[in-house]
Amino acid sequence: MTSSRFFRLPNLISSNSTNMFFQRLFAMANYSFSSSSSPKPPIQAVYDICKKKLTPSIEPTPQLIYELSSILDTIGPSDVGLKDEHQEDDRGHGFSSPNTLNRLDRWAQPITYIDLNESESFTMCMFCFPTSSVIPLHDHPEMTVLSKVLYGSLHVKAYDWVEPPNIKNSKENPRGPVRLAKLVVDKVMSAPCSTSILYPKTGGNLHCFTAVTSCAVLDILTPPYEEHSGRRCTYYRDYPYSSFGSGGELIDGKEDEYAWLEEIDTPEDLYMREGVYAGPPIRV
Ligand SMILES: [Fe+2]
C-alpha cells in the first residue's frame, strides 16, 4: 500500500497487483465463500456479467446496460463491505454551507478509492466521500460509466460537449482555449436511488461530484481509463456562457444551460487515498 495521500485520479486507476493481493486476502478473512446452494452475492453477479459481456472496443448494448443496472439498483453498502457512514460523519460543513467551496473546509479527510477489479474491458471501483469533498469536473473519453450511490447524498453536475465542437482559441480567451458544453445534469442523488449512466457523448460524460453528506458510489467504467488508447482523464474548469459567448452558439435552451470548459492540470486539492475492499470476495 502506498503511503502517499495525494493521488491523481488517473494514477489510482492503475493500481498494482501486490495491492490487489492484499485486498483479496483481507476480504477472504472476513467472508467465507458461499456454498453452491447459497444465492450469488449481487456484486458477484455484476462482476460475472461484466466479465462475460463487456469488451474494450464495443459499447455495451441497451439490453446489457439494463441487465447491469437492474442488479446495481439492488446493491447497498452492506453488499460491498461498507457501512452507512452517512449518520456518523458530521465533521464536514454540508453542501449548502457558505464555506462549501473553501479549500480549508475540505480538510483532513481524503476521498477513499477502493478498487474491486480491473481488466482490459472494465473497472469496478468505489469512492467513499467525506462530507463536502469534491471530485472536480473531469471526463470519461469514449467510455460508458454506471454509477450507483450506495449511501448518503451526492450532488452531480454534468455536461456533454456541444457538437460539432465550438472552441474559442487563445486569442478570444487569454486564459487558454475553451470549448462549449451543455449542462445535462444538475441534481442531488440520495440513496436509495437508481443507477445513473453516462455514455461517450451523452448522459453527462463530463462531471463533477460534491458530497452533500458523507456518501459512497460504486462505479463500473467500460472500457477503463487507458492513456495509451487515448482514454486519459482530463480535468476542466467551467465558465458561465456569458463569459465568452454572444448567443449565436446556442443550439437550444437558455444561456444558463451552457458553459465554456477550460482544460486544467489535476487539481492540487484533490485528496485521495486507497482503501481496502472488505465485501464478499469476488471470484474472478
Ligand atoms: Fe467520473
Cα(20) to ligand 1 centroid in Å equals: 22
In this prediction, residue 135 carries a pLDDT of 96
Cα(38) to ligand 1 centroid in Å equals: 34
Cα(171) to ligand 1 centroid in Å equals: 31
Query: Is residue 111 scored above 70 in pLDDT?
Result: yes
Residue 197's nearest CA partner among 4, 68, 51 is 68
User: Using CA atoms, how far apart are residues 140 and 214, in angstroms rounded to an integer?
Assistant: 24
Cα(207) to ligand 1 centroid in Å equals: 6
Cα(221) to ligand 1 centroid in Å equals: 9
For 241-277, what is each residue's pLDDT tens digit? Answer: 988 877 677 777 789 999 999 999 999 889 899 999 9
Cα(127) to ligand 1 centroid in Å equals: 10
Cα(140) to ligand 1 centroid in Å equals: 6
Cα(189) to ligand 1 centroid in Å equals: 15
Cα(75) to ligand 1 centroid in Å equals: 19
Go through the chain and tell me how many residues it has.
284
Mean pLDDT along residues 233-246: 90
In this prediction, residue 10 carries a pLDDT of 42
User: Using CA atoms, how far apart are residues 145 and 209, in angstroms rounded to an integer?
Assistant: 14
Name all domains of the chain by residue range, CATH numbers in brackets: 9-225+233-274 (2.60.120.10)
3-state SS assignment for residue 239: strand
Cα(147) to ligand 1 centroid in Å equals: 9
Cα(186) to ligand 1 centroid in Å equals: 15
Cα(139) to ligand 1 centroid in Å equals: 6
Parallel, antiparallel or unpaired: strands 167-168 and 178-190: antiparallel
User: Using CA atoms, how far apart are residues 68 and 131, in angstroms rounded to an integer?
Assistant: 28
In this prediction, residue 109 carries a pLDDT of 84
In this prediction, residue 108 carries a pLDDT of 61
Which contiguous run of DSSP H or E holds residue 157? strand 153-161
Distances (CA, A) of 35 to 31, 39, 47, 237, 280: 12, 9, 18, 50, 13
In this prediction, residue 269 carries a pLDDT of 85
| Beta carbons of 190 and 152 less than 8 angstroms apart | yes
| Beta carbons of 95 and 256 less than 8 angstroms apart | no
Q: State the burial class of residue 105 (Cβ atoms within 10 Å of its Cβ: 0-12, 13-18, 19+).
A: middle
Cell 469536473 locates to: 137
For 122-163, what is each residue's pLDDT tens digit? Answer: 999 999 999 999 999 999 999 999 999 999 999 999 999 999
In this prediction, residue 172 carries a pLDDT of 65
Cα(265) to ligand 1 centroid in Å equals: 16
Which has more pLDDT, 80 or 38? 80
For 41-97, what is each residue's pLDDT tens digit? Answer: 999 999 999 999 999 999 999 999 999 999 999 999 999 999 887 655 544 443 444
Distances (CA, A) of 159 to 179, 180, 259: 11, 10, 9
For 183-233, what is each residue's pLDDT tens digit? Answer: 999 999 999 999 999 999 999 999 999 999 999 999 999 999 999 999 999
Cα(39) to ligand 1 centroid in Å equals: 31
Cα(146) to ligand 1 centroid in Å equals: 10
User: Using CA atoms, how far apart are residues 228 and 114, in angstroms rounded to an integer?
Assistant: 23
CA angle 218, 224, 229 (to 5 degrees): 165
User: Using CA atoms, how far apart are residues 79 and 77, in angstroms rounded to an integer?
Assistant: 5
Cα(276) to ligand 1 centroid in Å equals: 20
Residue 200 CB contacts under 8 Å (≥ 6 apart), including other chains: 59, 140, 141, 142, 143, 144
In this prediction, residue 85 carries a pLDDT of 75
